Amino acid sequence: MRFQDFFTRDSAWPSVESLVMKNAKHLPTNTPSNIVPNDGPRRDTHLVHSGRAAANESPKPQDKVCQSPASDGIHLHDEIERNWKNPRWTTVEKLIRELDPGHFNSFACLNDRDQNYVQCLRGFNGWHLEWRMFHSPGSYVHYRASYPGGSRKPFELKKHDSISDGQHRDLLQLEDVIAAFRSFHQGSGLPDFLEWREMAI
């Protein structure tokens, strides 16, 4: 899945929906030894963009909060399809810090039982971060994070195996990505130190 639109969908990336349904109760496994990076650059479709965005009025970012506590119904998964059910915060942070810039495991997603989620993608030159929140069944708002006041010039997140389209202000630093995941894990909603713009995905 691609962080396109954060990302446009690509079969090389698993969707959050498929990962959530796929044996989320299993313990994480070791990294497969037969995973090899794809050859040549491609447009990264890693972040999840399936479904239709809400057509009607949607809540403002500051009004949106996670609807499930971190201790119940939270799932963590990565690009190589490891899954953790109700992970401790230390597990979430460790996984994010261990992501690589596109060799075989550059994506992580944390979702709740209502299918709200936050997801990130690591590149050589920064990180992309997105957040999806449902305000009624089948109706959601999808956000891309960026730095307030940053340049809107088109700028790609560059990875070993692909690129992800975006703006220069979308290239985040690791600690800010971790802070956003922590906010989701705690049920605190969209952190206000970042700018969140809606994306029609």
Domain borders along the chain are 16-30+39-199
Calpha distance 124→167 (Å, rounded): 15
More confident residue, 109 or 16: 109
Query: How far is Cα 21 from Cα 17, in angstroms, rounded to an integer?
Result: 6
DSSP for 150-197 reads ---SB-PEE-SS-EE--BGGG-B-HHHHHHHHHHHHHT--S-TTSEEE
Report the distance separating Cα 148 and Cα 195, nearest Å.
5
User: Tell me, what's the pLDDT at 138?
Assistant: 85
Q: What is the pLDDT of residues 12-52, one digit of tens each?
A: 333 444 443 333 333 333 333 332 333 333 445 455 543 33
How do residues 127-184 score in pLDDT, each as one tens digit?
A: 999 999 998 888 999 999 999 999 999 999 999 988 899 999 999 999 999 999 999 9
User: Mean pLDDT, the chain, as a whole number?
Assistant: 75
What pLDDT was estimated at residue 201? 82
pTM over 0.75: no
pLDDT at 47: 56
pLDDT value at position 150? 96
Please classify residue 13 by burial: count the beta carbons closer than 10 Å to its beta carbon, then call 0-12 exposed, 13-18 middle and 19+ buried: buried
Q: How far is CA 42 from CA 13, 38, 121, 162, in A?
A: 12, 9, 15, 4
What is the average per-residue pLDDT within 102-126?
A: 96
In this prediction, residues 183-188 reach a mean pLDDT of 95
pLDDT exceeds cutoff 70 at 110:
yes
* Residue 62 CB neighbours (<10 A): 10
Quickly state the pLDDT bin for 86 (edges 50, 70, 90): very high
